[in-house]
């Protein structure tokens, strides 16, 4: 039997949404083993005038607990 847990992280990128998600998963994988999936639950951005300066994503990361 496996038991999974969900943890929430916020990541950011000046490049775009996909990069913010990739960076969040990469960082989470340094301390979480057996990551099974990620749900992008929120997207925000910071703006300077007419330009988007940073993308921010709230990620819900699912991982299996080890025995």
Q: Whole-angstrom Cα distance, residue 10 to residue 50?
A: 24
What digits encode the pLDDT tens for the residues 3-62? Answer: 999 999 999 999 999 999 999 999 999 999 999 999 999 999 999 999 999 999 999 999
Instruction: Name the pTM for this structure.
Output: 0.88
Range of the domain at 12: 4-64
Reply yes or no on whether the pLDDT at 1 is more than 80. Answer: no
**Which CATH number goes with the domain that contains 51?**
3.30.1660.10
Q: Whole-angstrom Cα distance, residue 67 to residue 39?
A: 25
Q: Please give the tally of structural domains in the chain.
A: 1
Contact 24, 59 (CB under 8 A): yes
The edge-to-edge listing of strands for the beta sheet with 35-48 is 4-13, 51-64, 35-48
Q: Whole-angstrom Cα distance, residue 2 to residue 11?
A: 28
């Amino acid at each position: 039997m496996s038991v999974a847990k969900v943890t929430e992280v916020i990541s950011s990128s000046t490049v775009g949404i996909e990069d913010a998600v990739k960076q969040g998963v990469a960082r989470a994988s340094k301390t979480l083993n057996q990551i099974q999936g990620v749900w992008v639950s929120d997207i925000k951005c910071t703006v300077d005038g007419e330009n988007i300066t940073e993308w921010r994503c709230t990620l819900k990361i699912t991982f299996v607990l080890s025995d």
